[in-house]
Chain A
Amino acid sequence: MGILLTIAHRLAILVYVAFALFPLYWLLKVSVTPNDLLYSEGVRMWPSHATLEHYRYVIENSAFPIFFRNSLIVAGSTALAVTLISSLSGYALSRFVFRGKYAVVALMLITQMFPLVMLVAPIFKMLSPLGLTNSLTGLIIVYTAFNVPFATFLMQSFFDGIPRDLEDAAMIDGASRFTAFRQIILPLTLPGIAATLGFVFTAAWSELLFALMLISGNDSATFPVGLLTFVSKFSVDFGQMMAAGVMALVPACLFFLLIQRYLVQGLTAGAVKG
């Protein structure tokens, strides 16, 4: 009976792992299948011979390297800006008791509750006279604002874990609060900073709707916009599309490894957003 239960348990885990990995495996499989085998071999777990031709084509002859660079710039800058700004505000929420604090928290909670898709039209209207549509800067500003409330709560939870005595001692020795914050508290929060960078990078790397609305040319298209345009234009080049898809997956997976240890903390701090 006990052994049967153990076997059932391991089998169930195996089913979950297979379900989680199979679509990604299929993506990889089609991306290395030569075009002539794609249709002739049907449903087969691995092509009779594999090729990196699709990757070579996508890197050398398509605009995907530009999309990749744009996405890297946007997601990287957003992650840096959000982490910088939210470490300040997270620290304030963790350490200060002040009049209006609840209003600040309420404001940030509200921004997590309403449908962001509501803002697509007004943000387009606001950014376009400023010349910030079709620009990476515009996207970075919008993404930074969207991610800052969640990151503030996340950073706050990390600061809450650091004893106050540390900066109190430094301030008694004559350091200003800001110096104590910069030189003592921030270095201790490095793991939290890494987690925030990871969460925000992944969110900005994945964002689709605002990028579709705000960007129309190839030059400043991010990866999601570029891939969707490619899919609707050349919907028969499955090998190339999936090679591009695998490329989009790589940075996200790297950052997933970085933040995996903090998933629980991140998801509970961001339970409002997810």
Chain B
Amino acid sequence: MIPTATGSRPRKPFARRIAHTVEPWLYTAPVLVLIIAVMLVPLVLGLSYAFRDIQLLNPFSGGFVGLDHFRELSQDTAFYRALRNTLWWTGASVFLQFFFGLILALLLDKPFAGRGLAQALVFLPWAVPTFLAGLNWAWMFNPVIGPLPHWMVSLGILSAPNNILADPQLAMWGPIIANVWWGIPFFAITLLAALQAIPRDLYEAAAIDGANPLQRFTSITLPFLAPTIAITVLLRTVWIANFADLIIVMTNGGPADRTQIVASYIFTQAFKRLDFGYASAIALVLLVLLLAYSMVIVVIRQRLIEKD
């Protein structure tokens, strides 16, 4: 309200007061213009497409069709399958990334010779561009050039060295494993930062009182990590539910839509079928679902803040 940054004295000349009011907006104007023009306007436009017939290759399309897309959507079995797949993809990826990320953070929290180097190496997958991570893992699963099918046969997981990405029952594990590989560093980095903020003397005091390592973990480490865990897991869930790159690169939704998630289904409708209206209708449904989920996050976040 008041431009306090300059330690403003009362009663300034009118022109200076105007300048002070305008100043913050001059600094933020480029960002606001860009966000509104490239994100907000397309968002609103996209919402309107959901109620219109927009097909890129059909010059006669563009008319208002009301709720037709949503009626079609309610009968679209591929969409329901994509919804189920999204739950599976998101749940498995977040759980495994979090689980292995937490273990890695705990391992790196202990000082040892060569920790800096080990840390740089285990965080490296995070720097790999996602399209390359996807291709790289698709090649690893390819029996012609990749070692994984042969190893899985030796371990008795597969009966023959086939590509699991082509197997309807197993295909989803391909992108999930790639996602876990790529995403462990994110959880490890944020959890490691939270771990290092825990006061060390708490552990010493507990050790003097005779608490064993497990007791120290459950009564000191976990309660301190809980807020970080809650927020990162909840936010990461939204992000991964929307993350279609790996699936589009590795399986393109196949075989027989077994790996199609809602986000990749939207992209396929827009990119392959060029049916922008239908794609936007699915996007609207996804947006509503994510909004409902975000409400849950806001409530939980509020609870956590009140508890502190």
Contacts and interface: CB of A to CB of B under 8 A. Distances in A.
Interface in A1-33: 9-10, 12-13, 16-17, 19-21, 23-24, 26-27, 30
Contacts of A17: 118, 121-122
A121 B42 CA distance: 9
Given A96-B23, A126-B45, A146-B39, A252 B127 contact: yes
A192 interface: no
Contacts of A212: 271
Contacts, number: 265
B128 interface: yes
B294 interface: yes
Interface string A92-118: 110111111100100110010111111
B107 A9 contact: yes
Interface string A210-239: 001100000000001001100100000010
Task: Tell me what chain A mostly uses at the interface: helix, strand, loop, or mixed.
Answer: helix
Interface string B18-30: 0001011101101
A120 interface: yes
Interface stretch (B70-78, B202-210, B282-290): B282-290
Main secondary structure of the interface of B (DSSP, over half): helix
Contacts of B112: 9-10, 13
Given A20-B122, A98-B1, A227-B135, A148 B31 contact: yes
Given A24-B128, A205-B129, A117 B31 contact: no
B139 interface: yes
A148 B35 contact: yes
B38 A142 contact: yes
A114 B27 contact: no
B122 A123 contact: no
Interface size classification for chain A: 35 or more
A88 B271 CA distance: 36
Contact of B287 (A88, A114, A209): A114
Interface of B: 1-7, 21, 23-25, 27-28, 30-32, 34-35, 37-43, 45-46, 49, 54, 56, 103-104, 107-108, 110, 112, 118, 120-133, 135-137, 139-140, 144-147, 150-151, 181, 184, 186, 189-190, 192-193, 231-232, 235-236, 238-239, 241-242, 244-245, 248-249, 263, 266-267, 270-271, 276, 279-280, 283, 286-287, 290, 294
